[in-house]
Amino acid sequence: MLDKGEYSFSTCWNIKRHTTGREMIEEIKELGFRYVELNYNVTDELMKSIEPMIEKGEIGVSSVHNVFPFIDDKDYDTDSVMLGFDDEAKRKRSVELLIRSMEYADRYGAKAVVVHPGEVPFEYNIDSDLKKLYREHGKDSPEYQRLWNEMSERRERLSPIYTRRIQESLEHVSEHAAKKGWSVAIGIETRSRCYQMPALMEAKTICDNLKGSPVYLWYDIGHAMMMDRMGLYDNLKELQEIKRYIYGVHIHETLELSDHWCPYVHSKDLKFFDHFLEAIDLAQVKVYELKAACQPEEIHESHKLITDKIEAMRGM
């Protein structure tokens, strides 16, 4: 099988198919990957058979995804206020959980921890309603625009408060990491719901204010495509401003508002994804984050297109 070199592959692809960690990792290795990102659903139980593989050098870990290993607590799952909680005890717990993820990353020789830092809280999942209106009536419909403006007004008003809190939490984590001597980056990830943080300019603000810390942007390509479509930011324009902040990328493509598809292959568009090749090339950690529906031959085809195009781009 063709060696995928420095590229890594997230366990989100096949975690639901396996009850033992070794089998899960072996299946990823069969695709030609030497590195994995251990996602937030990886349990202590699965790690029992993965840890010996890491220790023996059978697999490398590029990154772990906070909260890692898995904890069964809705307050701290991937869609939560997390590092921006109003409640100080909850915020302190979020900081502790991120430190725990970093500890594991350090232990496994990973370069980074991927973090969903927070959100502007709403009483209900307004993003889900917006996506439904987008699909049924379109982005320019009065129904969509009305709800979008309502979401936008609250998000813009409260964003500075949550940006500041997230920043303070990340400062605490960075100080702890410095004391421990950990060489692990914290990648704050672009998100898939319009009320979640950070938007690209929010990430820039946080990184600028934490210069000298291990905090960077984790550019999730598919999520950014989706937020651009919904109207949260101008992805291609802002990408030029924020590309120097990128530490890692999640590589996947979005069909309308459905994410985690193989770039080029599922969209059948052999041009648009080219906009993201420079970001992939620049990133220290390059991780495919694909859904279970993606088949091995599609993954290989997508990878070949990406790497051939990057090669051609470098030679220009």
107-155 confidence digits (pLDDT tens): 999 999 999 999 999 999 999 999 999 999 999 999 999 999 999 999 9
Determine the Cα–Cα distance for residues 109 and 112; give it in Å rounded to an integer: 9
For residue 1, name the pLDDT band (cuts at 50, 70, 90). low
Kindly state the average pLDDT of the residues 179-204: 98
pTM: 0.97
Determine the Cα–Cα distance for residues 72 and 80; give it in Å rounded to an integer: 13
Domain segments of the chain as ranges: 8-123+160-314
Whole-number pLDDT of residue 315: 86
**Who contacts 149 (Cβ-Cβ below 8 Å, separation ≥6)?**
none
46-86 confidence digits (pLDDT tens): 999 999 999 999 999 999 999 999 999 999 988 999 999 99
CATH code, 8-123+160-314:
3.20.20.150
Q: How far, in Å, are 86, 130, 133, 194, 235 from residue 145 at the CA level?
A: 29, 9, 9, 14, 19
286-316 confidence digits (pLDDT tens): 999 999 999 999 999 999 999 999 999 998 6
High-pLDDT (> 70) share of the chain, %: 99
The dihedral over CA atoms of 103, 213, 252, 287, expressed in degrees to the nearest 10, equals -50
High-pLDDT (> 90) share of the chain, %: 97
For residue 2, name the pLDDT band (cuts at 50, 70, 90). confident
